[in-house]
Structure 1
Amino acid sequence: MGIQLAVFDIAGTTLHDESNVGLVLQQVIQQQAGVAVSLPEVNEVMGYAKPYAIRYLLQQKQDARYRDAGFVNGLHTLFVQQMSAHYQDGEVREKKGAGMVLQELRRRDIRVALDTGFDRAITNIVLERVGWLNNDLVDTVVTSDEVAFGRPYPYMIYRAMEQLGIKSIQQVAKIGDTLSDLEEGANAGCPCVIGVTTGAYTKEALQAGPHTHLVADLEEILSIHWFI
């Protein structure tokens, strides 16, 4: 049974991210919550839904406010505002070969979905800036605020399957640059889970997660037997 749907992460996987997401999240937590978190600590939760990431980081620092939904949501709102401003004004560009890979997969009759730890507001800004919003490169986009739980839960993958009429998880591949991407794919039951080693996590870090393949460049995906 071949792959009929490839689900890609966005920031760090198909689009360049020079640690911008982590830096903005770090800044919000430090400046607004008064809690010092390092960039490596923030990178540990890259790929997760951002409200979850904020709660986790506060809890790790033994800050009792992680239980306060209103406080966490307030920090998330500030993160959305600052991240949206960054993507509206800063450079947004696809990773080497990303557009070509997505186009080639669709030429091979493999549907393409994007899923992300961002909410819909940030995602639309990002995709509009890179020229991927409302074009024929991507079949569907699922964001973390559109499901009950984001990564590492598998629900964004299942939502994409539902939207595109994919019957079996055995026909789905997951591609991402974080451990939460790999865990999402494994938890969904994807037979092909690919880690991209040129994003938020190193090759050594991704090797610790559930995966079937690790690639440095997205073009390598096209030669994997699942996609031929």
Structure 2
Amino acid sequence: MTIKGVILDWAGTTVDYGCFAPVAVFIEVFANKGIEITMDEARKPMGMLKIDHLRTLCEMERIAGLWEAKYGRIPNDADVNEMYTDFERILFSILANYAEPIPGVIELMERLRKQGIKIGSTTGYTFEMMKVVATEANKRGYAPDLLITPDDVPAGRPYPWMIYENAIRLDLYPMKHMVKAGDTISDIQEGVNAGVWTVGVLKGSSELGMTEAEVAACPPQELSEKLLAVELKYRAAGAHYVIDSIGELDTIIGLINARLEQGDKP
């Protein structure tokens, strides 16, 4: 009655501290259309398949209103597809620079493997995007046992299919013996929908949206307030646990194992 597998997100959880690669690109793509979106708006759907993320941005009331004011209509599928082509072009030009493992994750992997815990992963990036990220991350010492992208399943987050595919390929069952950790609301929804223990990560997350240097320089009281605000979002989305940083995940696994022994389940 112990945790047998951990499913980790990529950008904002295990690599790319603060999840900055996609954010700047979304802002630039809309700017190329003469529409100014905010960083908060760009981050809100983070964790989704990127074309779904783009479509969600276009459906936001303020953004759709700006588009209608400029073009006389709300954005349609043709607009989304055109911007997505632009998004891919820009993202692929910078993606290799955003694959640095987040502090603590490589040591965490070593500890998990010593316990015999399998390490899977899910992402909002496509397979082609992840070929770049995974290759670069591997050069830097980070390589989970398995990577599943939305291209491998019928739909990305918040659907649970990527976690189910991890379970199938890593031979993990029942679902209560798995933990999903991530840094976005869609990560939490994915884990909850899959019926696994779900953990939100604070520092390095897209939800916090701060660089490592900004976190270090932030006054303690202000940082505590920001972290609490993110934690409350995770809890509201159904997170079972929230941790300060990804390197603390195995301390939570110990708590979950104790609950499993008592017959608890997610």
- TM-score, normalised with respect to structure 1: 0.89
Shift in Å, 1:131: 1.6
The answer as to 2:93 corresponding to 1:85 is yes
What is the DSSP-based 3-state SS (H/G/I as helix, E as strand, rest coil) of the residue aligned with 1:151?
coil
What is the root-mean-square deviation of aligned Cα atoms in Å?
Answer: 2.2
Q: Deviations over 1:182-201 (max 9, x none)?
A: 111011111x2111101111
Aligned to 1:76: 84
Structure number, greater radius of gyration: 2
Match of 1:201 in 2: 207
C-alpha displacement of 1:58: 0.8
Structure 2 residue matching 1:23: 3-state secondary structure: helix
1:98 and 1:5 map into 2 onto residues whose CA distance is 15
Q: Which residue of 2 aligns with 1:11?
A: 11
- Matched length: 223
Question: In the TM superposition, what are the counterparts of 1:187-226 in structure 2 within 5 Å?
Answer: 187-190=193-196, 192-198=197-203, 199-202=205-208, 203=227, 204-208=229-233, 209-224=237-252, 225=254, 226=256
Counterpart AA for 2:93: A
- 1 CA distance for matches of 2:248 and 2:17? 20
- Identify which of 110, 123, 128 aligns with 1:116: 123
* Residue 111 (structure 2) pairs with residue 104 (structure 1): yes
Instruction: Name structure 2 gaps, 5 residues minimum.
Output: 68-72, 209-226, 259-266
Q: Deviations along 1:42-62, whole A, 9 cap, x unmatched?
A: 111111111111111111122
Q: What SS does the aligned partner of 1:131 have?
A: helix
TM-score by length of 2: 0.77
Higher share of residues assigned helix: 2
User: 2: distance between equivalents of 1:132 and 1:206?
Assistant: 32
Between the aligned partners of 2:248 and 2:177, the Cα distance in structure 1 is 19
Q: For residues 91 and 119 of structure 1, do their structure 2 counterparts lie closer, same or farther at Cα, with a shift above 3 Å needed?
A: closer
Tell me, yes or no, if the aligned pair for 1:114 and 1:140 is still in contact at 8 Å: yes
CA distance in 2, matches of 1:223, 1:216: 11
Q: Distance in 2 between matches of 1:34 and 1:71?
A: 13
- 1:179, 1:206 within 8 Å by CA — same for their partners in 2? no
Tell me: CA distance 1:141–1:48, structure 2 relative to 1, closer, same or farther (3 Å). same
* CA distance in structure 2 between the aligned counterparts of 1:219 and 1:169, rounded to whole angstroms: 23
Runs of 4+ in 1 over 3 A off after TM superposition: 63-67
Separation (CA, whole Å) in 2 of partners of 1:217 and 1:210: 18
Q: CA deviation digits over 1:79-129, x for unaligned, max 9?
A: 2222121023x3531011111112221221111011100001111111111
Q: Is the 8 A contact 2:200 2:241 kept in 1?
A: yes
